Structure 1
Amino acid sequence: MKRLAIVGSQWGDEGKGKVVNYFSEKFEWVVRFSGGANAGHTIYYKGKKYVNHLLPSINPGNYSKGFLGAGMVIDLEQLIKELKVMEEDFPGISNRFYIDLEAFIVLPWHKEEDELLESMRREPIGTTKRGIGPAYTDKVSREGIKLYHIFDDKLLKQRLEDIFYLKNNIYSGRLKSNAKDVYNYLLKQREELKNLKVNYESAIDMSKVFRNSTVLFEGAQGVLLDLDFGTYPFVTSAACMAHGVSSVGFSTFELDEVYGVLKAYTTRVGSGPFPTEIKGELGEKIAKLGNEFGATTGRARSVGWLDLPALRYAKIRSGLTGFVITKADILNGFDEIKVCTGYEINGEIKEIPSSSYDFSKAKPVYETLPGWKDTNDVNFLKYMAFIEEKTGVKIHYISYGPKTEEMCSKNDLIMNM
C-alpha cells in the first residue's frame, strides 16, 4: 500500500494513535488532516508512553516524517510542548515535522470563548474547552488567523485588532485576552518553533513529494463525532472521515485502503446518544479494565457493547475497506458477550441508521455470543467472524495490548492458534 487512511469507526478513543504508530514504520509520511488538541493519541516506544494531541504519530526510531494539514486547527503552545517532550528523547526530531501554511491557529481567546459558551448553554455539549469549536467557527466566519499570518507582522497585527474589535463587542468586554497580548503571544510561539527547526510548507508544494512516496493519513476522533454525519450536535467541529484527506490535496479515490479502528466494545466520552451503553456495575468493570479515561481531558468514558449498526453506518460514510480491532483482551474471561445487531426505531428494525438522528431514537437489538479466555481462544476468532459477516468488512489486524508492538495480523493469529 502506498496510501492508507486510518480513521475511528466509533466515537473516537479506539486506539488510533497506537495503530498509526504500528503502521508508520512502513510509511515515509504520516499526515494529520483534521482536528486539533482535543484529540489525544497515545503511543508507546521502547517502553515509554507519549501522549500527543497534535503531532502525527510517526515512528520516532525511523525515518518517517509528519505533516500537519490545513484541515487542522493548531494550538501552537500545545504543539511546542509536545515537540519539546519528544526532543528530550529524540534530539532533532522537530525537523521531521512540517506544518501547512494554510492551517488555522487556536488563539487564547478561543479557549475563553469555549468556556463562556459552554457555561451559557442550557444543555452543555461536553466540549474539551480547548478552543476547537470557536477556532473552526472563526474559520467559517472568516475571522481566523492562518499560520502564514504570523510571518507578516504588520498583517498579523491588523487582523488581530480587527478580529478583537468584533469579539469585544460580541462578548461585551468579557474576554481577558486582547489583540496586543495575542500578538506578542504569537510572536513568542513563532520564535520557539524557529528554534526547534520545524518546517513550513503548503500541500501544493508537497504534492509531488507525497505522490512519489508512501503516505499514512491519520484521522482524529471517530466517524460518529464527524461534524456533518456524527450524532449532531454532540460532535466535534472537524471532518473525522477519510474524505478529510481533501484538505491535504488528495481524493479518497487515491487511497489504497481505508482502515477503521474499532474497540471490541464501544465507548464514548461527553454528552450525546449512546444506544448500547452498559449501565451500572458491569459498565464500570469494563471501564476500569480498559482504563477508559480520555487522553486529553482525563474524563471517564461511558462503556457499551459492540454496536454493529453504528459500524455499518461508519463503513458507508467513510468508505471503510478494512477493520483493525483493539482492546479485545479487555473482555478476556467474560462468559458471554452481547453484540447489538440492529436498532428498533419507531417499531421498525433497522440494520443501518438512515441519518444521525436515528441514534437518538434507537433501541438496541442484541445477540449473545460466547466469551473467550484470551485472544488465542477460538471463540474470539468466531467473534471476529461474526463482525465481518454482519458488516461486510474484513478485520485485518488485532491489537491485544497498549504497546505498539502488541499487534498482529489476523492471519498470524490464526496460524499461531
Structure 2
Amino acid sequence: MKRVAVVGAQWGDEGKGKVVNYFAKDFEWIVRFAGGANAGHTIYVGDKKYINHLLPCILPDGTGRGFLGAGMVVDLEQLVAEVEVLAKDFPGVGTKFAVDPEVFLVLPWHKQQDQLLEAMRAEPIGTTGRGIGPAYTDKASREGIKLCHLFDEKMLTERLENSWVIKQNLYRGQFSMPPAELAGLLMRQRDRLLELGVQVTGAVDMAHIFRSTSVLFEGAQGVLLDLDFGTYPFVTSGSCMAHGVSSVGFSTFELDDVAGVLKAYTTRVGEGPFPSEDDTDVAQGIRERGKEYGATTGRPRRIGWLDLPALRYAAIRSGLTSLVITKADVLNGLKTVRVCTSYRIGGVVRDVPSTSHDFFVAEPVYEELPGWRTTDDVNFLKYMTFIEEQVSVPITYISYGPHTDEMETKSRLIMNI
C-alpha cells in the first residue's frame, strides 16, 4: 500500500496543508505525526478557507480519515474548536477523526509558562505563545498529561496537583486555574470531543489498518525548525522530519516517498539565522503578493531568495525523495531571480552546511537567473531544472495558487509549454 510523508523543506509555511489536501483524495488515512497548534495549515473547500492548526488536512467532504499521532502535543480547546468549525459545514465530520490516547496535552499553564519564559529571555526566540515548548518540556521531564489520563480521574488529579506545586514554586505563584478547576475543564473538553464523534484510538490498535491501506503522513513546520537539526535554539520543540512517523509505529524504510515542500523563494517567521534574507523593496513586494503573514500568528514573514545549501541540508537530513514547489507565481514578472547557491563559511565555500551552527555564520553566494512572465514560461521550467540539478532531487508537482486544485505535475506543465 502507498505510504507518503509530506514535510517542510525550509523554515515552515511552505504550503504543506494545501499539498496534503491535494494528495488526500488518493489516500484512506491522513496522519499528522508531530507538532501542535503553532502550525497553521490552510486549505480551501470550494471558495471557503479553513485553517487547521491540529487537524490533519483531509478532504472534509471526501472518504479519507484523519489521525492525530502521539508525536503531537494537543490543545483540546483548539481541537474542539476546529472540529466544530468544520462540523457547521460538514455535519458529522468529527467521526472522520481519531486521536491517539498517548498524545500529550497543551494546558493553559503551558501557555502562561510560554509567555513568562519569552519575557525572561535576553534574546527572545519568537515563540508563538501557544504553549508548545513547555508542553514538550513537561513531556521530557515526566510531568506531562496524556489524553489517556483524562479517562482516569484519580490519576489526572494527582498528576495535575504534582505539576501545580512544581510550577507555582518555579514561577512564584504566577499561574492561574488551580488543579481541580483545570481537571474539570479538561474533562468537559474531552466530553465535547467525544460528542462531536472524534474517536480515541491508539496506534497499536490501528497498526493493522494502517498497514493494509494507504497512508499520507503530514508533518509540521520545516526541517530547518527541527529540534535536533534545525537552527537551534530558534526552532520548534518537536520533530519536523520524516522520521517522526515512528510515533505512529512506522519506520522511514516503510515510506514510498518523502515529499519536501518548498517555496520558489524562502520565508521565515520569528527570530534566528536566515542567510538569504532580503530587506529590499523587491522583498516587500514578494511579501505582499504572496500574502506572507503567519497563518497562526499573523506576523509578517521574513523574505529571502531560494536557499539551495539549506535545501540540500534538508534533503539529506530528512531523506527527501521528491520536491513540491509552491508560490512560483508570486515571482511572476521579475526580470531576474536571485538564488543562493552556496555559503562562504570561515573563508571556505561550501555547498552544504555541516552543522546547524553553520547557518549562523554563513555568507550567501548568489547566482542570477532569468525571471518568468508566468509559470507557463520556459524560464520557469529552466528554474526548476536548475534546482533539480543542484539538489539532486526531482520536482514532481507545482503549486501555483492557494486553492486545492491549483496544482499540476511537472510533466503536465512541460506538455503545456
Same fold (TM over 0.5): yes
Map of 1:298 onto structure 2: 298
Residue 280 of structure 1, CA deviation: 2.7
Residue 177 of structure 1, CA deviation: 2.6
Residue 371 of structure 1, CA deviation: 0.1
CA distance in 1, matches of 2:60, 2:178: 38
CA distance in 2, matches of 1:200, 1:188: 15
Q: Percent of aligned positions with the same letter in both sequences?
A: 65
CA distance in 2, matches of 1:120, 1:184: 31
Map of 1:351 onto structure 2: 351
Map of 1:102 onto structure 2: 102
Residue 158 of structure 1, CA deviation: 1.0
CA distance in 2, matches of 1:281, 1:327: 19
Residue 269 of structure 1, CA deviation: 0.2
CA distance in 2, matches of 1:82, 1:212: 29
Map of 1:391 onto structure 2: 391
Partner-residue secondary structure (3-state), 1:25? helix
The one-letter amino acid of 2:163's match is I
Map of 1:64 onto structure 2: 64
1:80 to 2:80 alignment:
yes
1:50 to 2:50 alignment:
yes
Residue 37 of structure 1, CA deviation: 0.1
What does the per-residue CA deviation read over 1:132-151, in whole Å, with 9 as the maximum and x for residues that have no partner? 00000000000000000001
CA distance in 2, matches of 1:308, 1:138: 36
Map of 1:199 onto structure 2: 199
Q: Normalization by structure 1: what TM-score?
A: 0.99
Map of 2:145 onto structure 1: 145
Map of 1:363 onto structure 2: 363
1:240 to 2:240 alignment:
yes
1:220 to 2:220 alignment:
yes
Map of 2:12 onto structure 1: 12
Unaligned runs of 5+ in 2: none
CA distance in 2, matches of 1:307, 1:162: 46
CA distance in 1, matches of 2:231, 2:294: 19
Map of 2:412 onto structure 1: 412
CA distance in 1, matches of 2:331, 2:169: 53
Deviates more, 1:252-261 or 1:147-156: 147-156
1:37 to 2:37 alignment:
yes
CA distance in 1, matches of 2:378, 2:50: 34
CA distance in 2, matches of 1:150, 1:379: 56
The one-letter amino acid of 1:122's match is A
Q: Count residues with an aligned counterpart.
A: 417
Residue 184 of structure 1, CA deviation: 1.1
1:89 to 2:89 alignment:
yes
1:373 to 2:373 alignment:
yes
The one-letter amino acid of 2:395's match is I
CA distance in 1, matches of 2:360, 2:171: 33
Q: Normalization by structure 2: what TM-score?
A: 0.99
What does the per-residue CA deviation read over 1:77-117, in whole Å, with 9 as the maximum and x for residues that have no partner? 00000000000111000011000010000001000000000
CA distance in 1, matches of 2:169, 2:139: 19
Residue 172 of structure 1, CA deviation: 1.1
CA distance in 1, matches of 2:364, 2:197: 52
CA distance in 2, matches of 1:332, 1:163: 53
The one-letter amino acid of 2:200's match is Y
Residue 178 of structure 1, CA deviation: 1.7
CA distance in 1, matches of 2:197, 2:263: 37
Instruction: Spell out structure 1 runs of 4+ moving beyond 3 A.
Output: none
CA distance in 2, matches of 1:315, 1:32: 20
CA RMSD of aligned residues (A): 0.6
CA distance in 1, matches of 2:165, 2:363: 48
Matches within 5 A, 1:151-166: 151-166=151-166
Map of 1:261 onto structure 2: 261
CA distance in 1, matches of 2:363, 2:67: 41
CA distance in 1, matches of 2:166, 2:81: 31
Map of 1:280 onto structure 2: 280
Unaligned runs of 5+ in 1: none
CA distance in 1, matches of 2:191, 2:10: 39
